Amino acid sequence: MTSVIFDLDGTLINTTGDIATAVNETRAHLGLEALSDEVIGAAVGRGASALLKSTLPAQAYEERTEELRGVF
């Protein structure tokens, strides 16, 4: 069995816009304003949990982690 793994966060295709859309939909769910693609792009690269922690208010993320991951 052969496996192939691709890192698509900018390596082969630029997915920053899609990731930014998902983050901003999560922020909207909390009644927060959208962040720019550039701000979100700077937070990409350490996994979804780290991305959400760095782009959402800490208290909201800690209290509603599963809900917000589902929205994301």
The pLDDT of 40-45, averaged and rounded, is 92
Task: Name the CA radius of gyration of the chain, rounded.
Answer: 13
The pLDDT of 60-64, averaged and rounded, is 94
- Return the percentage of the chain with pLDDT > 70, whole number: 89
Q: How many CB atoms lie within 10 A of CB 14?
A: 13
pTM of the entire predicted model = 0.81
